[in-house]
Amino acid sequence: MALSKKTLALLAATTLGFGLVACSDSGDTGASGGGSGSDNYVLANGTEPQNPLIPSNTNEVGGGRIVDMIYSGLVYYDADGEIHNEMAESIEPEGEKSYRVTLKDGWTFADGTEVTAQHFVDTWNHAVANSHLSAYFFEPILGYEEGAESMEGLQVVDDKTFTIELNQPEADFPMRLGYSAFYPLPDEAREDESGFGEKPNGNGPYKLLEWNHNQDATIVPNENYQGERTPQNDGIKFVFYAQQDAAYNDLLAGNLDVLDSIPDSAFATFENELGDRAANQASAIFQSFTIPERVEHWGGEEGKLRRQAISHAINRAEVTEAIFQGTRTPATDFTSPVLPGYDGDIVGNDVLDYDPEKAKDLWAQADEISPFTGEFTLSYNADGGHQAWVDAVVNSIRNTLGIEAVGNPYPDFKSLRDDVTGRTIEGAFRTGWQADYPSQGNFLGPLYGTGAGSNDGDYSNPDFDAKLAEAAAAETPEDASRIYNEAQEILFQDLPAIPLWYSNLTGGSSEHVENVVFSWKDQPLYYNITKN
Amino acid sequence: MLRYIGRRLLQMIPVFFGATLLIYALVFLMPGDPVQALGGDRGLSEAARARIEAEYNLDKPFIVQYLLYLKGILTLDFGTTFSGQPVADVMARAFPVTIKLAVMALVFEAFFGIIFGVIAGVRRGGIFDSTVLVMSLIVIAVPSFVIGFVLQFLVGVKWGILPVTVGSRETFTALLMPAVVLGAVSFAYVLRLTRQSVSENLRADYVRTARAKGLSGGQVMSRHVLRNSLIPVATFLGADLGALMGGAIVTEGIFAINGVGGTIYQAIIKGEPTTVVSFTTVLVIVYIVANLVVDLIYAVLDPRIRYA
């Protein structure tokens, strides 16, 4: 065809033209996004929040770290997990299971609207009525039911006062009030959740300046903030990284100021490379594996002996050193060393010591009850970097006890959890727990209480349940801790989960910033950071 | 010619339906439960699960889900991600940077690949030829993430010549290193392809004839040798454009680029059908269009090829 060459030229030109338009378009947005570099923001790593920034509907760390900075609750936790009043003037117990909450004067949302007791009650009811992801935090409140429109345990007395009545006494309930699910929201949030979540109006130390999805979010000090978490910087820019390696390289090059998770590839070297700007400390993340009692050979007295044998067969110190380069801390209890009330010398925790002789002995005793058949499997999700330690642990078990032990990978976390919650999983499986609020009870009740939500092994021991109830009714947090530690003595006998180690917080900061303190929650206290 | 183009474009319609159905089915058949994963370690309450499933139509049978998705697409509504963002917005953010990166990589590999390939092909067996062959062999043999990490560490962290990561600074300088890394392997292939076909064509009869006619060396090169040599190269580059756009996951991860590959990868992990299907469908269309353009370029390069 005679036309062909002209047509082609036209076609080529158009294609090129489109390409150029696309390029120049994105070039513009790129420039405006990066234009804020002139401000002296602290550059911190982050990940794209998975939900609009509604506190009770945020259950992952990417959104959580922003939510904690742009909202305030009744109380807040300091770096050590100690509790301080934030919006609450006082939280007075009235009787065993009621509290009277009085708010401080002068608190407003970022737009100047006064925060009242009604805001708290409405927000909490709204979270339950709409089945938000963190709605289970309201379970203890009288009248809670999945999807309930309003809970009768919440009563507004006046603008500054409301009362909370619980179903049963729970000593650590006031401690939970610093968790994000309990943050108050203004009325407009309940009318248009996703719109509000994009442009939140909170009462926290910071307010959201801009949020470029999948790229970054910037928060700047909120001049209406009334609390003690006073920002010491001009703002925080959270840069979202899909891979920690990229973030780490940016930290080394000085393009990132604070990193709260060092990539595996740098575990061996980061403390040398960062010097005294590196952080490596135990955190409130507990790792274990669970062997349900329903599995053949793992029930009753036989199962108890076998669990103890398995526990003695694992060399935790060696695995944490060899596999994790010292970025895990061998477990000494079922909670975490960063929590108030932690005791590293609970009676019976020697079951966590590596002792091959004792392991063989206990295993032989169990074999006398009923000889072991089949193989020991440890299931894990292959997308979480667990293979190395699982292999090390099953090797250790195989070599010590002389049984067939293998790791059983699932393609991803969700397929593992499906089989766990469906109770169709065979053998042992990986379990873990991260604290929502700094209380030992949070590590014990939800995991090992009879019928509790995350009791994946269906553990049930009336003595332990009694201790939980006793601790919940304790007069002071110190008493509660003492009882929780007694309850753990029972767990060390039964081993409903085999404790492995605590994940360490591994982090670092650049030379542009000072006062980077990592809290019990693994995150820097962003408001304390100063940038020069 | 126009009829040919029209026919090729019409072929996109069944491909579109087939691709969306197939990909939707694959995401649907993936093991595990995407809603469960939203609850994290703790799992979800029944009420929260029901709310989320209803919100994303996950409570409906497969074919209903798919038809609802198609209905949305026809009204240019690509659905929303699990984080509540419209997929159209996600695409509008991810595609520009990826197109930029892919075009830069393509230009890099085509320009240097063809030039080096022609020189090597003309001076076959010389020092330049041998050096370039060994170098390209190394580039092909070393995985691209190794090249990426090493370049990033040396050029970015150690010497500070180019930005370490891209992030929100999607400038030419920031994308330069990722584009080179992304295009490196294809560059080596283009080079070898060009070298091979140039050196073969140089010995062809028509070249001898052209020389005998009295054409100068340069004219023989540009009008006869190069034109014929570029046909396999054009085929390769056309197919490569799609690969560069969808397959840049590794490079995007290393340099923190919020592009198409990484977005699809994350969406597959989360089991988000709307995102996976929308993105891959666009990529399928890019493949088809790129192949059409390549076929048309054949006609320019080789006058013997005609479309009707």
pLDDT digits (tens, 9 = 90+) for A83-104: 899 999 999 999 888 999 999 9
Interface contact B83-A255, CB threshold 8 A? no
Chain A: nearest CA to B79, how far in angstroms? 15
- Which residues of chain B lie closer than 8 angstroms to A31, CB-CB? 171
Residue B109 confidence (pLDDT) above 80: yes
- Contact criterion met (CB below 8 Å) for B83 and B263: no
Distance between CA B263 and CA B245 in Å, rounded? 12
Token pair belonging to B108: 């890099």
Token pair belonging to A433: 């727990």
- Which residues of chain B lie closer than 8 angstroms to A52, CB-CB? 83-84
Query: How many other C-beta atoms are found inside a 10 Å radius of the C-beta of residue A517?
Result: 12
- Which residues of chain B lie closer than 8 angstroms to A19, CB-CB? 99, 103
* Least CB–CB distance from B296: residue in A8, A240, A247: A8
DSSP state at residue A431:
E
- Which residues of chain B lie closer than 8 angstroms to A10, CB-CB? none
* Least CB–CB distance from A249: residue in B40, B95, B152: B152
Chain A (102-161) residues lying within 8 Å, Cβ to Cβ, of chain B: 130-133, 135-136, 146-147
Give me the pLDDT at residue B308, please: 63
- Which residues of chain A lie closer than 8 angstroms to B165, CB-CB? 241, 246, 249-250, 255
- Please give the torsion angle defined by the CA atoms of residues A373, A375, A381 and A387, in that order, rounded to the nearest 10 degrees: 150
- Which residues of chain B lie closer than 8 angstroms to A61, CB-CB? none
Chain A: nearest CA to B125, how far in angstroms? 36
Q: How many CB pairs under 8 A join A and B?
A: 188
Interface contact B253-A49, CB threshold 8 A? no
Chain B (50-69) residues lying within 8 Å, Cβ to Cβ, of chain A: 50-51
SS3 letters across chain B: CHHHHHHHHHHHHHHHHHHHHHHHHHHHHCCCCHHHHHCHHHCCCHHHHHHHHHHCCCCCCHHHHHHHHHHHHHCCCCCECCCCCEHHHHHHHHHHHHHHHHHHHHHHHHHHHHHHHHHHHHCCCCHHHHHHHHHHHHHHHCCHHHHHHHHHHHHHHHCCCCCCCCCCCCCHHHHHHHHHHHHHHHHHHHHHHHHHHHHHHHCCHHHHHHHHHCCCHHHHHHHHHHHHHHHHHHHHHHHHHHHHHHCCHHHHHHCCCCCHHHHHHHHHHHCCHHHHHHHHHHHHHHHHHHHHHHHHHHHHHCCCCCCC
What Rg do the C-alpha atoms of chain A give, in angstroms? 26
Which residue, chain included where needed, has tokens 């029972």?
A: A490
* Least CB–CB distance from B34: residue in A19, A213, A414: A414
> Touching check for B92 and chain A: CB below 8 Å?
no
- Contact criterion met (CB below 8 Å) for A154 and A163: yes
Give me the pLDDT at residue A36, please: 42
> Touching check for A432 and chain B: CB below 8 Å?
yes
Give me the pLDDT at residue B183, please: 93
Interface contact B168-A417, CB threshold 8 A? no
Token pair belonging to A312: 């003695």
Closest CA to A453 of B51, B40, B31: B40
Closest CA to A397 of A284, A311, A517: A311
- Contact criterion met (CB below 8 Å) for A447 and A497: yes
* Burial of A10: CB neighbours in 10 Å, binned 0-12, 13-18, 19+: exposed
CATH number given to B94-255: 1.10.3720.10
- Which residues of chain A lie closer than 8 angstroms to B34, CB-CB? 414
* Least CB–CB distance from B300: residue in A3, A5, A454: A5
Beta strands in A345-387 (DSSP E): 376-381
- Which residues of chain B lie closer than 8 angstroms to A415, CB-CB? 31-33
State the ipTM, two decimals. 0.80
Query: How many other C-beta atoms are found inside a 10 Å radius of the C-beta of residue B198?
Result: 24
- Contact criterion met (CB below 8 Å) for B277 and B69: yes
Distance between CA A67 and CA A61 in Å, rounded? 9
DSSP state at residue A79:
T
Task: For A14, name the nearest residue in chain B, comparing CA atoms only.
Answer: B293
> Touching check for A385 and chain B: CB below 8 Å?
no
Chain B: nearest CA to A234, how far in angstroms? 20
For residue range B279-290, list pLDDT tens digits in order: 988 888 888 888
Distance between CA A262 and CA A272 in Å, rounded? 13
Query: How many other C-beta atoms are found inside a 10 Å radius of the C-beta of residue B223?
Result: 12
Closest CA to A154 of A175, A184, A133: A184
Task: Count CA within 13 A, CB hemisphere, residue A366.
Answer: 24
Chain A (16-45) residues lying within 8 Å, Cβ to Cβ, of chain B: 19, 22-23, 25-27, 29-31, 33-34
Query: Please, which residues have CB within 8 angstroms of residue B90's CB and are 6 or more apart in sequence?
Result: A213, A214, B81, B263, B275
Token pair belonging to B65: 């889900």
Chain B (180-239) residues lying within 8 Å, Cβ to Cβ, of chain A: none
Distance between CA A67 and CA A46 in Å, rounded? 12
Beta strands in A56-205 (DSSP E): 75-77, 83-85, 88-93, 98-103, 154-158, 161-165
- Contact criterion met (CB below 8 Å) for A219 and A46: no
Query: Please, which residues have CB within 8 angstroms of residue B192's CB and are 6 or more apart in sequence?
Result: B117, B133, B136
- Which residues of chain A lie closer than 8 angstroms to B38, CB-CB? 50, 59, 133
- Contact criterion met (CB below 8 Å) for A164 and A153: yes
Distance between CA A329 and CA A232 in Å, rounded? 32
Task: Encode burial over A181-197: b for 16+ CB neighbours within 10 A, e otherwise.
Answer: bbbbbbeebbeebeebb
For residue range B12-50, list pLDDT tens digits in order: 888 888 888 998 888 888 776 777 667 665 667 777 788
Give me the pLDDT at residue B42, please: 62
Task: For B36, name the nearest residue in chain A, comparing CA atoms only.
Answer: A414
Distance between CA B23 and CA A384 in Å, rounded? 25
Closest CA to A174 of A372, A355, A416, A441: A441
* Burial of A244: CB neighbours in 10 Å, binned 0-12, 13-18, 19+: buried
Lowest-pLDDT range of A454-468, A512-526, B127-141, B156-170? B156-170
Residue B72 confidence (pLDDT) above 90: no
Sign of the C-alpha dihedral, residues B262, B268, B274, B278? Answer: positive
* Least CB–CB distance from A26: residue in B84, B96, B254: B96
Instruction: Give me the residues of chain A with pLDDT under 70, please.
Output: 1-38
